[in-house]
Structure 1
Amino acid sequence: MVVAMLANSPPLLEFDLLRSFVAIAESGSFTRAAEQVFRSPAAVSMQIKRLEETLGKSLFLREARQVRLTPEGEVLLSYSRRLLKLNQEAVSQFVAPTIEGTVCFGSPEDIANSVLPQVLAQFARSHPAVAVNVIAGSSTELLSRLDSGELDMALLTAGNVGQDPTRGEVVFTEPLVWATRSGGLAVESQPLPLAVASRGCCWRSMALNALDKHAIEYRIAYACDQSSGMQAAMEADLAIAPIPQSHMRAPFVQVDAKWGLPELGEYQLLFEHRKELGPAGNALASYIVNAWKTPR
């Protein structure tokens, strides 16, 4: 039920609807909000429709590249934040944390800067007594730190040069796509200018192998260990780059098929951990695996 109705009483709003509403308002996108609340964009859109029907008001102005709050939506946002905060405080008063400790977690830099903060924020609300220390780095570096005992667990990208293919559980698979700045001219240049990670990265290997296979001339215009450097090169319209489809953000767009670039296939995200984790580590490991395996 969208609302719980009492005789001659106003409707009671569901907290799941309010969480999705706040996520959209703060991110400016139904797609990004869906990632944060671990639902599909269609499911989030349906939630907002139900919320608008309940209140009899339009909450968002849907534009080409973003959504904006209506005046009524601005009012509801203030109430929603206060209600969610009050709900969290009330629950905290009665539900004492049963698991505590510190977990050292490793992640590739692009994941650590994009999806992971939202996942860990939700974990923190469920397990407030567990401290998570995050170390970002390359997958091969993270595996080395895991083996040396510096890390308890790590997310890794599969297929990097020199990486043991037997390590890690596949938790997420998605297409790797060509990205360029919206309205940019880099994709028209010959040879094709690329922004890629340093040697050994699976994204780089997948992109160069695909171009070589189709005899497309290219040059490495920008090489960087961090995805932020690749994004800077694309934003300056110096190059195009191979990135996971879920990482596509304005002002970047997927290269149109008319340019004839080869498909890159799918890349995999892996999860690896040391054998003995303890209660805190087991709780986080289960949460991470479920978060990425749940359709978003």
Structure 2
Amino acid sequence: MLRELKTFMAVARHGTFAAAGMHIGLTQSAVSSQIKNLEQALGVRLFDRTGRQAILNAAGVRALPLAREMFELFSQMSIPQKPDEYHGEMKIGAIASAQTGFLPQALLRLRRMAPAVEAKLVPGVSLDLLSQVDAGELDVAILIKPPFELPKELHVQALETEPFVLIVPMDVKGDDPLTILLEQPHVRYDRSSFGGRQVTRFLREQRIEVRVALELDELDAIVKFVENGLGVSLIPQAGLWLERDVNLRVIPLGSLTFHREVVLLMRRGQRDLPLHQLFARCLSKADPADDILYLPHS
């Protein structure tokens, strides 16, 4: 019945039989057949069908966390006790600034300690990565800490804290960040992103209405637009732009400084697994071989 549970979780995640089938490699009719088998075995319907949509009903909502728990428990039966005994794929989600920042060195450490593990890097924005970890599609993800409470099934470990600064073109005069924000066009950090929401809150608290010239989520692209004079921007000190000579001015926010927290996210039931603990150690910038692999609970 495990394949039916996997299909059930996929339909709950993607909302239609066709979309679920595309993600798990089944035809729509095979998905329909497996859901029918599961519902017959349980004696309850799990979805309300509306056109092509498959919406969890009350029984489905109750069954979903139990299905995830059962699937995780079964997966753990074949898990080795030592990281160097692991084989196969580890799916790691990561935001762009982590991919070009501390993640490459962490993956080198992981390869040295668990050489048979194939790391598969999945890029994405924080909200999408969170959803994929929650759905069991990623083993772990590096993302911005969400501005809301996470489900109890998810475990968060802090990695880095990045201060926001104001970046301005070289020809913009003055050093008062609030005055500059009021007077200059703004290259805005995407308001739908977790980091962008922090910028929105800061501007609201300072009662500043900016003139938006452009809005996007990619930090290094924002820096490039500011360098070319499109406007000023509030961004965290993260990304490849910190490793090169930039043609702009960086203005600290002083007492108004706020921060973006980068975290490692995984399902709570997997946080004690040796491979997950090893990867967390690899991200800590310490050499995993010099310390114990097991992390204390937090």
TM-score (norm 1): 0.54
Q: What code does the residue aligned with 1:273 have?
A: M
1:152 is aligned to 139
Structure 1 segment 226-237 matched on structure 2, within 5 A = 226-237=218-229
The answer as to 2:157 corresponding to 1:164 is: no
The answer as to 2:235 corresponding to 1:243 is: yes
Find the partner of 1:272 among 243, 248, 265.
Answer: 265
Structure 1 segment 34-45 matched on structure 2, within 5 A = none
Find the partner of 1:289 among 280, 285, 290.
Answer: 280
Question: In 1, Cα distance between the equivalents of 2:93 and 2:182?
Answer: 38
Q: 1:264 to 1:156 in 2, by over 3 A?
A: same
Q: What code does the residue aligned with 2:140 have?
A: M
The answer as to 2:203 corresponding to 1:211 is: yes
Q: 1:215 to 1:181 in 2, by over 3 A?
A: closer
Structure 1 segment 101-140 matched on structure 2, within 5 A = 101-140=88-127
1:129 deviation in Å? 1.3
Question: In 2, Cα distance between the equivalents of 1:174 and 1:222?
Answer: 26
1:103 deviation in Å? 0.5
**Structure 2: gaps of 5 or more residues:** 1-83, 288-298
Q: Any conservation in 2 of the 1:107–1:155 contact (CA below 8 Å)?
A: yes
TM-score (norm 2): 0.54
Q: What code does the residue aligned with 1:150 have?
A: E
Find the partner of 1:191 among 183, 186, 189.
Answer: 183
Q: Any conservation in 2 of the 1:204–1:242 contact (CA below 8 Å)?
A: no
**Structure 1: gaps of 5 or more residues:** 1-96
Q: Any conservation in 2 of the 1:179–1:252 contact (CA below 8 Å)?
A: no
Q: Any conservation in 1 of the 2:93–2:129 contact (CA below 8 Å)?
A: yes
> What SS does structure 2 have at the residue aligned with 1:255?
strand
1:163 deviation in Å? 6.9
Q: 1:252 to 1:294 in 2, by over 3 A?
A: farther
Q: 1:189 to 1:154 in 2, by over 3 A?
A: closer
1:253 deviation in Å? 6.3
> What SS does structure 2 have at the residue aligned with 1:203?
helix
Deviations 1:234-289 (CA, angstroms, capped at 9, x unpaired): 232323333333543431666335xx78723222222222356599x732x22342
Question: In 1, Cα distance between the equivalents of 2:134 and 2:159?
Answer: 23
1:222 deviation in Å? 1.9
> What SS does structure 2 have at the residue aligned with 1:200?
coil
2:62 is aligned to none
Q: 1:152 to 1:119 in 2, by over 3 A?
A: same
Q: 1:214 to 1:184 in 2, by over 3 A?
A: same
Deviations 1:12-63 (CA, angstroms, capped at 9, x unpaired): xxxxxxxxxxxxxxxxxxxxxxxxxxxxxxxxxxxxxxxxxxxxxxxxxxxx
Q: What code does the residue aligned with 2:150 have?
A: D
Question: In 1, Cα distance between the equivalents of 2:281 and 2:108?
Answer: 15
Q: 1:189 to 1:264 in 2, by over 3 A?
A: closer
Identity of aligned residues (%): 19
The count of residues paired between Structure 1 and Structure 2 equals 196
Q: 1:174 to 1:275 in 2, by over 3 A?
A: closer
Find the partner of 1:141 among 128, 138, 143.
Answer: 128
> What SS does structure 1 have at the residue aligned with 2:104?
helix
1:157 deviation in Å? 0.8
Deviations 1:66-123 (CA, angstroms, capped at 9, x unpaired): xxxxxxxxxxxxxxxxxxxxxxxxxxxxxxx533221011111221233212221232
Q: What code does the residue aligned with 1:198 have?
A: D
Q: What code does the residue aligned with 1:210 have?
A: F
Q: What code does the residue aligned with 1:192 have?
A: Q
1:137 deviation in Å? 0.8
Q: What code does the residue aligned with 2:192 have?
A: G
Structure 1 segment 31-110 matched on structure 2, within 5 A = 98-110=85-97
